């Protein structure tokens, strides 16, 4: 049960680092959970490794097959996504740094400029040759029609979802921006992330070093639990609305007594 802890007081600038756990209630499977993508099929990891994807047509075929009928295409935002929108609309500056590629924060109503997609998005396809970006639906239509290794119409190079694969670097400007947001926040709320994938997870340390409070909401232990002001193990769909209500109620700083 969340008490309105001292850490909820006076927060007007909030950064929220979100991971797969915030989207599982929307039916998007996580990767390493009990029903996770890698748990059910460890060999799928190879198709999500950058060097393998770029060199092995069979891995690319495998990758596109995984996405042609992915639950993310039918997913709707859940209570946790919506509660962040409500907090932002009530006047708290909310910035989301997400490891998710499903676009559900924006679909819930957060303005795109307030959501940094650290690991990219499944909603766009990027050409690995000429860098042109196109909506994913067009490429998926070709895959459904039998194309196993879709190529760029303009330059013929390999097409890839605009997501960061294993062994691929994060976009530097995006990561720099995320570090600045983490450092400028009063509270970093890490929600539904195992905090085991770097450099995204290190944003927790960036925030704490800059003087922000850190609260972790996750089912399992994380390597950053010791740094946190509070660790919450309850289901996200219950915990987050309660935390947000406390942040809203306690937004005004505790009045200081007149001398
Ligand atoms: Zn191209």
Q: How far is the CA of 139 from the centre of ligand 1 (A)?
A: 13
Is the pTM higher than 0.75? The answer reads yes
Query: Which run of H or E residues covers position 134?
Result: strand 133-135
| Residue 204 and residue 158 share a domain | no
The residues pairing with 166 across neighbouring beta strands, listed in sequence order, are: 49
| Residue 155 and residue 56 share a domain | yes
Q: Which of 81, 105, 119, 123 is catalytic?
A: 119
Q: How far is the CA of 81 from the centre of ligand 1 (A)?
A: 34
Sign of CA dihedral 117, 118, 123, 125: positive
For the segment 194-246, what is each residue's pLDDT rounded down to a tens digit?
999 889 999 999 999 999 999 999 999 999 999 999 999 999 999 999 999 99
| Residue 85 and residue 159 share a domain | no
Enclosing domain of residue 51: 37-73+122-163
Structural domain contains residue 257? no
Lowest mean per-residue pLDDT among 58-72, 129-143, 215-229: 58-72
Structural domain contains residue 255? no
pLDDT tier for residue 29 given thresholds of 50, 70 and 90 = confident
* Structural contact between residues 16 and 189, judged by C-beta atoms closer than 8 angstroms: yes
- Do you find a cis peptide bond into 199, omega within 30 degrees of 0? yes
pLDDT tier for residue 156 given thresholds of 50, 70 and 90 = very high
**Percent of the chain topping pLDDT 90:** 80
For 241, how many CA atoms within 13 A lie in the half-sphere containing its CB?
Answer: 7
For the segment 74-92, what is each residue's pLDDT rounded down to a tens digit?
999 999 999 999 999 999 9
Q: How far is the CA of 41 from the centre of ligand 1 (A)?
A: 31
Q: What is the CATH number of the domain that holds 102?
A: 3.40.50.1220
Residue 10 is classified by DSSP as T
Q: How far is the CA of 124 from the centre of ligand 1 (A)?
A: 14
- Model confidence at 183: pLDDT above 60: yes
Known active-site residue 119: yes
Q: Residue 1 has what pLDDT? A: 45
């Amino acid at each position: 049960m969340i008490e309105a802890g001292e850490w909820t007081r006076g927060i007007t600038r909030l950064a929220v680092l979100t991971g797969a756990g915030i989207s599982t209630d929307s039916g998007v499977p996580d990767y390493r959970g009990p029903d996770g993508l890698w748990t059910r099929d460890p060999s799928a990891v190879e198709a999500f490794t950058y060097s393998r994807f770029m060199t092995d047509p069979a891995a690319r075929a495998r990758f596109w097959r995984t996405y042609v009928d992915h639950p993310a295409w039918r997913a709707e935002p859940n209570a946790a996504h919506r509660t962040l929108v409500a907090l932002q609309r009530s006047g708290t500056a909310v910035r989301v740094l997400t490891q998710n590629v499903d676009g559900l924060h924006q679909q819930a109503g957060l303005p795109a400029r307030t959501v940094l997609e650290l690991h990219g998005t499944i909603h766009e396809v990027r050409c690995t040759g000429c860098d042109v970006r196109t909506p994913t639906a067009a490429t998926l239509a070709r895959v459904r029609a039998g194309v196993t290794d879709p190529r760029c119409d303009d330059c013929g190079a390999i097409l890839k979802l605009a997501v960061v694969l294993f062994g691929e670097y994060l976009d530097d400007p995006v990561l720099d921006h995320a570090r600045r947001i983490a450092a400028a926040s009063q509270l970093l709320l890490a929600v539904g992330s195992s905090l085991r994938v770097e450099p995204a997870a290190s944003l927790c340390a960036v925030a704490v070093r800059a003087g922000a409070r850190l609260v972790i909401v996750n089912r399992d232990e994380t390597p950053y639990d010791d740094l946190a002001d509070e660790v919450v193990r309850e289901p996200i769909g219950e915990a987050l609305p309660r935390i947000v209500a406390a942040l809203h109620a306690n937004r005004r700083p505790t009045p200081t007594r007149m001398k």
